[in-house]
Amino acid sequence: MGKYHDLAKNIVKEIGGKGNINGLTHCITRLRFKLKDESIANTEVLKNMDGVVTVMQAGGQYQVVIGNHVPFVFQEVLDYTGIDPTKSVDMGKQKPFDVVLDVISGCFQPFLAILASAGMIRGLTALLVFLGAFERGSGTFIMLDNIGDSAFMFMPVIIGLTAARKFKVNDFVGLLLGAALMNPNLSLNALSANDATPIMTLFSGTIFENDVYQTFFGIPWMARNYASSVIPIIFIVLLASQIQKVAKKIVPEMLANFFVPFLTVLFTLPLGFLVVGPVFSFATDGLMAVFQSLIGFSPVLFGAVLGFSWQILVMFGLHWAVVPLALVQFMNNGFGNILTNIACVSFGQTAALVAIYLKLKDKKLKTLAIPAIVSGIVGITEPAIYGFTLPRKKVFIFTCIGGMIGGAYAGLMNLTVWNQGGLGVFAFPNYIRPDGDLTDFITLLISIAISVTISFTLTMLFHKEPEVLVSVEPTKIAKLSKEEIISPIEGSVLPLNEASDAAFAQGILGKGSLVIPTKGEVISPFDGTIMTLFPTKHAIGLISDKGVELLIHVGIDTVQLEGRHFEAFVEQGAKVKKGDKLVGFDIEAIEAEGYNTQVPIIVTNTNDYKDVIATDRKEVKTDDVLITAVVG
């Protein structure tokens, strides 16, 4: 049982259990679930769970943002559920665009870490050449550069495996299909070698013009060079999945192990070489031409739009619509410029967080900001986005503006990347040209400086961090229309920003107060209705007859107790009167199991009020006013 076992167990529970999981992958910071029914997942519980940054629902995926340690949580989820991540599943009906994103992410995500590692090796090699450690063309250079290049050159084989798992094709069939595309004897280079004369030319005078050197049973064979290609293998494996289904139906079970792969490969590859490969190579070339036209029309506008919107695209997983094209461009040319104008974005986000850090008055929040800053420097910005800039909406817009102007400059200067791999500062070597020229590296630094300066300056000038909550007695605002809320818990009072849970302490859920209970009893603080009673009984949501929505959360992370030491005296939907007993809990037993018994009491519709003011009392009983909601 690993360090993140409890977190994995609780995530699975709140998404509806193992039976609600149709599939699971992960990227750099997120668990990406495919759920049978997203409506039964307890999204708000997950968002407030210790260890979870936030939850996103986009592209047909239920994304639980974890942070840099997501691979460990992913493995714990696999161990707990017994899910085999290599086996694809039937996802049922999806929107066409969601299907496309699902296929692309499913084929590319599994090998991104290896691709990044290979790119970093090539980037390191270029840096060492620049520093004079060895010469370009030396044995050392040849070995290191080609080690890094191997992942890129044999891309069809790698994607053959991931696509096979996505489309439920035999893994080794997928590998063989990719290897066949890599066979040098089947490439255009081989067929056109020695100044061979084409036997015909198809689509003359168009961008799809193609010389034909051989036929297959009389059918023109439009040969291509598929080494380092990305898109054709995906659709060839998709074709194989359909042929495999037919083969399984007609081949007797006792012969299936041999003849199903035999028939699948025998029919897939000729069709792949004759039809699927050329068609999707042409389609990819067409899309590339469109992107190049956009860049050619106005590289500044292209860079500005992508720089502004990139963080938003990533938040919703929509960046997968662009990433493969950038990869295709790099594979075709050995360099790329489609996505280079977003290289500055993560640094602008981090700079805004530094500005927030300088303005923060809450020591606990300052402590939480430091690891988020470090994470942003290495290219992982989710902690900064979800923990700090997005809740401060204006600051998030500032970072988009910084990315927009930095991206516009990168587009203007045609910033070009020469290697793939690495994020944040680890991507810097990718901008050193193979001959050691630092032109693009310097352009990168300038675009980052622009994004950082704008994001930081706008945040410093126009963002005002709220003061640490200083409570006043309700009598001081007696002339204002207000609703007084008595304390539902008896105990000691602390400011909410001293809560051990960051989601409460940052006020993400709303303003309120924090009580350290001395009596294990929760009473209704007003006349109203029980809107939510969690099955674990540790949290209860109420709405008063006057409209105040209140969350009472007994203990920190006590959802893991699964209802132990709690007793409910009301049901969800029940009408209650002020003073009615709602929940009982055993303070000593909860603390004995290692849980903090702080009780955050939050007005979740804080934005509906002019202000929400907590008492400055140090101790409260259940007839004392704890919170005052000021109407106007």
Mind telling me the catalytic residues? 27, 553
Task: Tell me the two tokens of residue 588.
Answer: 């000593």
Question: Beta strands of 403-510 (E only): which ranges?
Answer: 482-486, 491-495
Place of tokens 């599994």: 110
Rounded CA separation 370/308 (Å) = 25
Burial class (CB in 10 A: 0-12, 13-18, 19+), 200: exposed
Rounded CA separation 384/370 (Å) = 10
Rounded CA separation 223/215 (Å) = 10
Q: How many CB atoms lie within 10 A of CB 114?
A: 12
Residue 317 phi, psi dihedral angles, 5° rounding: 75, 10
Contact 273, 221 (CB under 8 A): yes
Instruction: Say whether 420 sits in a helix, a strand or coil.
Output: coil
Residue 491 phi, psi dihedral angles, 5° rounding: 165, -160
Query: In the beta sheet, which residues pair with residue 576?
Result: 528
What are the CA-CA distances from residue 139 to residues 125, 128, 134, 136 (Å)? 12, 14, 9, 9
- At 506, which amino acid appears? Q
Sequential DSSP letters for 241-288:
HHHHHHHHHHS-GGGHHHHHHHHHHHHHHHHIIIIIHHHHHHHHHHHH
For the chain, the farthest-separated pair of C-alpha atoms sits apart, in whole angstroms, at: 96
- Region class of 579: left (phi > 0), else alpha (psi between -120 and 50), else beta: left
Rounded CA separation 187/254 (Å) = 36
Question: Is beta strand 200-202 parallel, antiparallel or unpaired with respect to 54-58?
Answer: unpaired
Task: Tell me the two tokens of residue 406.
Answer: 């930095």
Task: Tell me the two tokens of residue 233.
Answer: 């293998």
Rounded CA separation 343/123 (Å) = 15
Burial class (CB in 10 A: 0-12, 13-18, 19+), 478: exposed
- At 232, which amino acid appears? P
What are the CA-CA distances from residue 367 to residues 47, 353, 358, 396 (Å)? 20, 12, 12, 20
Task: Tell me the two tokens of residue 101.
Answer: 């994103």
